Amino acid sequence: MLQNYLTLAIRNLLKRKLYSFINIFGLALGVAVCLVILQYVDFELSYDSYHTKAERIYRTTSSYYQAGEFRGSGIVSGYAQGPAMLADIPEVKSYVRTHPMYGGAVVSYKRETGDPSTFFEENMQFVDSTFLDIFTYKAIQGDLSTALDNPKSIVLTKKMVEKYFKRDEDPLGKIVQISGGWADGEYEVTAVLEGVPQNSHFPFEILLPTHNLLEGGQYQQDDGWGWNNFITYVELHENADVKKAEEKLPAFVDKYQGKDLAESNSKNVLAFQPIRDIHLSPGLRHESSATISVNTIYFFIIISIFILAIAWVNYINLSTARALERAREVGIKKSIGAHRTQLMMQFIFESVLVNFFGVVLAVLIALGLLPTLGEIVGKDFYFNFSDPRFWMVLTGLFLVGSFISGAYPAFILSSFNITEVIKGKVEKVGGGFSLRKVLVVFQFASSLILIAGTFAIYRQVMFMRSQDKGLTMEQMLVVNGPSVLERQGARQRLISLKNEFKEIPGVKNVATSGAIPGGGYNWGTGMRKDGAAAEESKTGSVVWVDPDFVPTYGITVLAGRSFNPAIVSDMESVLVNEAALTAFGLGTPEQALEERIILGGDTVAIVGVLKNYHWNSLKTEHSPWLLKADSISRRSFSLHLSSDNMPETIRQVEAKYKEAFPGNPFDYYFLDDFFNKQYKDDQQFASIFSLFAILAILIACLGLWGLASFTTSQKLKEIGIRKVLGASVSSIMSLLSWQFFKLVLIASVLAIPLTWYGIDSWLDNFAFRIGVQWDMFVVPIVVLSVLAIGTVSLQIYRGANINPAKTLRSE
């Protein structure tokens, strides 16, 4: 019997090759998209799972309150926090502190012969010697258990080794020079790592011991609780209860910070954050890697379900559309004794065969889609065919798909009455608003939601990119200042280089600063109006800039003036933005010029008030932002260029830079490109969303073909009668097209409220956002209508041109 079912199934597939192709390709495309989305979701959920101790590793977080008001959460702490937790909290087995190489440094390796390898590196981390004991990384060379024991040791990734050393050169034991960073000196390469996995929240290329960082510089004068520049991780004992450990944290905070917090009427709530949750949690202050919302994960899972459902609906529609052709087959088989169960088994077996071919083709399509997805998100995706979960998912999709897509057609086709089908009256089956039409409305509604969502996402991203930032970004060339700089005469050499840049044709103006728009700040600290109570202090951001910064960037001065280097008091003052006026109660811009601000431990005058400008992305509200005067800064040179012969201008800038500071790499970029990197995650989301939307719409269009085929075949006699009575082809096409356009309208009524709610909820994540406008729904409806009518027009046209004699001769 099974062999008979197989033979019949293959014959029926070959008999209608086009229908079979659409069935198989539609299912394959749906399953492929589902596999790709599940692979992406699995990757996002797998962050930091490769650490063997992942279940026992936690990162400390701090939530700050002032006068009972929540002021935000962050991940930084003082260097004393880790050792104190080890001593005071019994559940803590070990700790590790990490500290970025803020600002980067120049790394060089000098060979005995040939030119040295010198590069500017930013992806560097200071870590405790316990780092490679707590976290799991694959070693290519060296002993990871002792690699960081020596204060003068350095651990490199394979990528860095290939960058600095020749192919046949053994890096172990070689001396690498670090210059211009937080801990200059010579370091011995003690280990080489394979590299940081893609699913890590903590990317790095170079590891250095924390010892040297603590021995010199600002931390030598600190008690370990003042400078919050460290990130602390703790490893708990194997059977430790994290809840009991967290219950001890309030007393821990009170012991070490209680006095200082009480003086400022503040509160610090410590918590342990599992490292497996870091990537799936909202990004906290000072978070270095991108995070993703769990809601986004759920959203993509829902999309995969919708797309898969659309593919299964296609099969149902195409199968039932062929009901008229299969009706006589069913009638004849029943007349010679075939049972309904046997007929159902035959049709389900056909569904199993189609789904089998579809799943095989789906794997091939998915393999082709993975590189496209990887290119969008900047990751390398691949299917692990040795993972049992992959085969379980594939088998599950095959079995569920075979049943769902085969059960309804099998039930319908096997239920035909012998007498009715032999008389050709099968068209009476399933009249009215059938399940088939309900499913097509579902396809239309899903497609409309995806089109409108794609439209809204791209419009918001373009809005953020094109919005006036309140400062000049176009044609702004940023050159990283020298990292290797001799202290003697350094300031004068920087000033001389700035003046030389100004003399280059094509350079309109030049400024230096400690940070640039989109690149963070130099100092985040509590500040308040002079005379206000300490508990009224609020966090603000400070950037050091030279007197040319404001005019170079074209920032609007509302009151007062920019820094005047000829006035000594100006160079000890600050410029504030409008947000600072509200935050600190400084009154109007003119009134603010009479006020002073307590900044850290100093009291500074306000020399000018600036119109709010977007230093950070438009996702965030305007916050108190202060520009502090500096005669020159070594961090960044900002050159406003003219559009004439930019390559030649950049070449001259490079020549003067290398002449002034030999041995320093010349690194430059354009500010608008750098600033827009803040929208990378949103652009990725938009690209992924649109990719899946296009595929879903393509699958839905295949379903429309099925409905058009069914409707046309059901109405062939009606079409014939209308043509005999004088109806034109265009009038018939208009009549039948209305059947589909009516479904589009019904789907629109159902989809618009859901789409409105979804778009508005997503836009709430942005401080500066577009509004939900009428064209976000009208345009998708028009697009969907054109796609729907365009898809079915060919089928309707073919049906409308059939000779009436052929359709009416049996009557």
CA nearest 699: which of 455, 447, 415?
447
CA-derived radius of gyration, the chain = 34
Mean pLDDT of the 514-536 span: 86
The predicted structure's pLDDT at residue 219: 83
In a shared domain, residues 455 and 410 = no
Q: Residues with Cβ < 8 Å from 438, sequence gap 6 or more?
A: none
The predicted structure's pLDDT at residue 638: 95
Q: State the burial class of residue 51 (Cβ atoms within 10 Å of its Cβ: 0-12, 13-18, 19+).
A: middle
Report the percent of the chain where pLDDT is more than 90. Answer: 36
Contact 736, 711 (CB under 8 A): yes
- Give domain status of residue 405, yes or no: yes
**SS3 per-residue string spanning 7-70:** HHHHHHHHHCHHHHHHHHHHHHHHHHHHHHHHHHHHHHHCCCCCCCCHHHEEEEEEEEEECCEE
CA distance 526 to 540: 6
Are β-strands 185-193 and 153-157 bridged in parallel, bridged antiparallel, or unpaired? parallel
Q: State the burial class of residue 288 (Cβ atoms within 10 Å of its Cβ: 0-12, 13-18, 19+).
A: middle
Element (H, E) at 266: strand 266-274
DSSP assignment letter at 513: E
Contact 491, 537 (CB under 8 A): no
The predicted structure's pLDDT at residue 402: 82
Per-residue pLDDT of 776-809, as tens digits, reads 888 888 888 888 887 777 767 776 667 666 666 6
Q: How many domains does the chain have?
A: 4
Question: Model confidence at 78, in pLDDT bands (50, 70, 90)?
Answer: very high
CA nearest 106: which of 704, 548, 661, 633?
661
DSSP string, 540-559: EEEEEE-TTHHHHHTPPEEE
Per-residue pLDDT of 137-173, as tens digits, reads 999 999 999 999 999 999 999 999 999 998 888 999 9
Chain centre distance of CA 110? 40
Mean pLDDT of the 722-733 span: 76
Report the percent of the chain where pLDDT is more than 70. Answer: 88
User: Which three-class secondary structure state does DSSP give residue 751?
Assistant: helix
In a shared domain, residues 632 and 708 = no
Residue labelled with tokens 């409308």: 800
431: pLDDT strictly greater than 50:
no
H-type alpha helices, 264-339: 275-278, 294-321, 323-335
CA nearest 609: which of 629, 632, 630, 627?
627
- Give domain status of residue 531, yes or no: yes
Contact 775, 791 (CB under 8 A): no
Between 15-19, 90-94, 98-102, 324-328, the lowest mean confidence (pLDDT) is in 324-328
Catalogue the long-range contacts made by 718-726 (C-beta closer than 8 Å, 24 or more residues apart): 719/799, 719/800, 719/802, 719/804, 719/807, 720/802, 720/804, 720/806, 720/807, 720/808, 721/804, 721/808, 723/800, 723/804, 724/804, 724/808
In a shared domain, residues 217 and 255 = yes
Residue at a domain's end among 663, 689, 715: 663
- Give domain status of residue 669, yes or no: no
CA nearest 518: which of 548, 476, 578?
476
Contact 297, 45 (CB under 8 A): yes
Taking residue 788's Cβ as centre, other Cβ atoms within 10 Å add up to 25
Chain centre distance of CA 305? 21
CA distance 294 to 278: 11
Residue at a domain's end among 613, 638, 663: 663
In a shared domain, residues 73 and 218 = yes
**SS3 per-residue string spanning 116-174:** CEEEEECCEEEECCCHHHHCCCCEEECCCCCCCCCCCEEEEEHHHHHHHCCCCCCCCCC
In a shared domain, residues 394 and 256 = no
Mean pLDDT of the 707-731 span: 73
Task: Write down the mean pLDDT value for the chain.
Answer: 84
CA nearest 804: which of 722, 725, 720?
720
In a shared domain, residues 242 and 336 = no
Region of 675 (left: φ > 0; alpha: ψ -120 to 50; beta: rest) is alpha
The predicted structure's pLDDT at residue 414: 63
- Tally of CA atoms within 13 A in the half-sphere of 704 that contains its CB: 30
- Give domain status of residue 474, yes or no: no
The predicted structure's pLDDT at residue 191: 96
Element (H, E) at 437: helix 435-466
- Give domain status of residue 9, yes or no: yes
Question: Model confidence at 324, in pLDDT bands (50, 70, 90)?
Answer: low
CA nearest 713: which of 430, 408, 322?
322
What is the torsional sign of CA 469, 470, 474, 475?
negative
Contact 95, 235 (CB under 8 A): yes
Residue at a domain's end among 278, 302, 333: 278
Q: Kindly report the pTM of this predicted structure.
A: 0.78
- Give domain status of residue 668, yes or no: no
In a shared domain, residues 501 and 386 = no
- Give domain status of residue 686, yes or no: yes
Output the CA torsion 32→33→34→37 (10° steps): 130
Residue labelled with tokens 């199934």: 9
Question: Model confidence at 433, in pLDDT bands (50, 70, 90)?
Answer: very low
Region of 429 (left: φ > 0; alpha: ψ -120 to 50; beta: rest) is beta
Catalogue the long-range contacts made by 331-335 (C-beta closer than 8 Å, 24 or more residues apart): 331/416, 331/418, 331/421, 331/422, 332/422, 334/416, 334/418, 335/418, 335/422
In a shared domain, residues 736 and 690 = yes
Chain centre distance of CA 764? 17
Q: Is the pLDDT higher at 119 or at 801? A: 119
Amino acid letter, residue 572: E
Q: Residues with Cβ < 8 Å from 32, sequence gap 6 or more?
A: 361, 362, 363, 365, 366, 369
Per-residue pLDDT of 206-253, as tens digits, reads 999 998 888 877 787 788 888 888 999 999 999 899 999 999 999 999
In a shared domain, residues 418 and 446 = no
In a shared domain, residues 458 and 573 = no
In a shared domain, residues 296 and 354 = yes
Residue-number span of the structural domain to which 775 is assigned: 430-466+679-811
In a shared domain, residues 21 and 146 = no
CA distance 191 to 787: 59
The predicted structure's pLDDT at residue 236: 96
The predicted structure's pLDDT at residue 512: 95
Mean pLDDT of the 537-558 span: 92
H-type alpha helices, 165-290: 210-215, 242-247, 249-263, 275-278
Contact 183, 107 (CB under 8 A): no
- Give domain status of residue 355, yes or no: yes
Q: Residues with Cβ < 8 Å from 584, sequence gap 6 or more?
A: 527, 528, 529, 532, 538, 597, 624
